[in-house]
């Protein structure tokens, strides 16, 4: 191929460059062989000057063609590297909530998505508020979070492409087994009123305090009964769900948690569910691809490939089955709709 390129450019014989230093290249014998003592120097210099000009013109022509050939070859070598080969970058960063991570769901799904997609997914587990900031900074390719208001704001500001509702479970209120606030005996499935009762009796309560989806749900419940919790009984931990559950167990306190994380940890805790199934405790999880046009370096194709897999029939069936063998119930219920 390279020979064809050089020939098309008029460089038929590459040895011409090495031969240009010889007078044979211009059709006569070396001048030194023809010089005799009686030779007139001016005419000889004139002849040499003519030959030098001739050689110089050949060098210029060859050099121009050589430069063009080199540039063309380099461009052919560079183009395949810069062009899209059709392969998706396998490295994807997923920012998600600690509740999803602590439930073990992602660890359960990971071997399957690696096998089916070839993606190498880095999971960053943090509260929903922090996960959204990670997305806003362009440090994640997609989010799996659970706070509708924050999600809608994230998308409306152009940071995310769209909200895709994937699955849900319920928040629950857990507390000491003797239930000092008497939440189980109220006979009313209303989480906001249950929190108000804990506050009125100053029973100890551990808050996530980390701007996570769980923390924002708790704040919404306090707002529903027009209360602002404060005092020694109310502890803002600033920690993930697993750590808060452990703290609540140690301090014999109440807390709000997602059901999945509690079920995966309950054997290690001295806590039990005191309120479950309340209408104001729905916990919707949503997946959002970060907008690649707003943030440089976002792996948009990889994010879409993971979304396509996690919303496939195979993945949705796996999510619906997760937890049944160990806990007798699904930890997450799929509600994805195309």
Tokens of 260: 């999945």
Please give the pLDDT value at position 86.
Answer: 59
Q: Yes or no: say if 132 and 213 are a contact pair by the CB < 8 Å rule.
A: no
Digitized pLDDT (tens) for each residue of the chain, 338 residues in all: 544 443 444 444 444 334 434 434 434 344 333 334 444 444 443 444 444 444 444 445 445 666 555 555 555 454 443 334 458 899 999 999 988 988 999 999 999 999 999 999 999 999 899 999 999 999 999 999 999 999 999 999 999 999 999 999 999 999 999 999 999 987 778 999 999 999 999 999 999 999 999 999 999 999 999 999 999 999 999 999 999 999 999 999 999 999 999 999 999 999 999 999 898 999 999 999 999 999 889 999 999 999 999 999 999 999 999 999 999 999 999 999 98
192: left (phi over 0), alpha (psi -120 to 50) or beta: alpha
Spatial distance between the Cα atoms of 53 and 303, rounded to a whole number of angstroms: 64
Spatial distance between the Cα atoms of 335 and 338, rounded to a whole number of angstroms: 10
Spatial distance between the Cα atoms of 173 and 13, rounded to a whole number of angstroms: 86
Residue 281's contacts (CB-CB under 8 Å, 6 or more residues apart) are 170, 171, 172, 191, 217, 275
In terms of Cα–Cα distance, which of 260, 253, 248 is closest to 213?
260
Please give the pLDDT value at position 27.
Answer: 41
Spatial distance between the Cα atoms of 136 and 9, rounded to a whole number of angstroms: 53
- Mapped onto helix, strand or coil, the DSSP state of residue 87 is coil
Buried b (16+ CB within 10 A) or exposed e, 263-300: bbbbeeeebebbbbebebbebbbbbbbbbbeebeebbb
Please give the pLDDT value at position 212.
Answer: 92
Q: Yes or no: say if 195 and 166 are a contact pair by the CB < 8 Å rule.
A: no
Q: Yes or no: say if 225 and 195 are a contact pair by the CB < 8 Å rule.
A: yes
Q: Yes or no: say if 280 and 190 are a contact pair by the CB < 8 Å rule.
A: yes
Residue 10's contacts (CB-CB under 8 Å, 6 or more residues apart) are 65
Element (H, E) at 173: strand 164-175
In terms of Cα–Cα distance, which of 278, 304, 282 is closest to 291?
304
Residue 98's contacts (CB-CB under 8 Å, 6 or more residues apart) are 125, 126, 127, 212, 240, 241, 242, 261
Spatial distance between the Cα atoms of 198 and 256, rounded to a whole number of angstroms: 12
**Helices (runs of H) and strands (runs of E) counted in the chain:** 15, 10
């Amino acid at each position: 191929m390279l020979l064809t390129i050089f020939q098309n450019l008029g460089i038929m014989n590459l040895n011409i460059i090495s031969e240009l230093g010889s007078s044979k290249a211009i059709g006569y014998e070396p001048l030194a062989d023809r010089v005799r003592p009686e030779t007139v120097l001016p005419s000889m210099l004139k002849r040499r000057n003519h030959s030098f000009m001739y050689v110089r013109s050949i060098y210029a022509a060859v050099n121009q063609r050589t430069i063009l050939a080199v540039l063309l070859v380099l461009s052919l070598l560079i183009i395949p590297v810069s062009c899209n080969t059709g392969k998706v970058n396998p490295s994807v960063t997923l920012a998600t909530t600690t509740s999803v991570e602590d439930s073990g769901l992602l660890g359960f799904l990971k071997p399957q998505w690696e096998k089916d997609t070839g993606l190498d997914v880095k999971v960053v587990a943090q509260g929903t508020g922090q996960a959204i900031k990670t997305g806003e900074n362009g440090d994640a390719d997609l989010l799996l979070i659970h706070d509708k208001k924050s999600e809608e704001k994230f998308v409306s500001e152009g940071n995310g492409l769209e909200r895709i509702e994937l699955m849900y479970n319920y928040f629950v209120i857990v507390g000491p087994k003797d239930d000092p606030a008497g939440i189980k005996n109220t006979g009313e499935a209303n989480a906001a009123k249950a929190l108000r009762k804990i506050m009125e009796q100053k029973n100890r309560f551990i808050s996530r305090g980390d701007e996570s989806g769980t923390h924002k749900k708790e704040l919404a419940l306090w707002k529903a009964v027009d209360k602002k919790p404060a005092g020694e009984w109310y502890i803002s931990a600033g920690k993930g769900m697993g750590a808060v559950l452990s703290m609540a167990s140690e301090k014999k306190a109440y807390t709000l948690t997602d059901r999945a994380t509690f079920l995966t940890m309950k054997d290690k805790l001295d806590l039990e569910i005191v309120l479950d199934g309340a209408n104001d405790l729905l916990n919707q999880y949503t997946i959002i691809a970060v907008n690649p046009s707003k943030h440089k370096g976002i792996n948009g194709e990889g994010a879409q490939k993971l979304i396509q897999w996690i919303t496939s029939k195979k993945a949705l069936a796996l999510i619906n089955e997760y937890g049944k063998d160990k806990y007798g119930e699904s930890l997450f219920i799929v509600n994805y709709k195309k």
